[in-house]
Amino acid sequence: MQKQGWVSTLTTNEEKDDREKSRMIRVRQRAIGRELRRIYDNVVKEPVPEEFLNLLQRMDVREGEEEESPEER
């Protein structure tokens, strides 16, 4: 349906359904993003386990010892 100087902008039900689906996808993605940020923030706030700190310290000591020893060529 077209009038002089006007283009029909009637929206079909299918177009409305597609827009609604797209909107719902964006809403879901934002909700997932918020939840992931919340979980990540909680994990970042947790202290580093003592066992892990000890392991890192032992690795640092070994690296220092290797740098001090003569290299075999």
How far, in Å, are 50, 59, 60, 68 from residue 63 at the CA level? 20, 6, 5, 9
Give the pLDDT score at 10. 57
Each residue of 34-69: pLDDT tens digit? 999 999 999 999 999 999 999 999 999 988 888 776
- Distance of alpha carbon 32 from alpha carbon 39, whole angstroms: 11
Q: How confident is the model at residue 73 (pLDDT cuts 50, 70, 90)?
A: very low
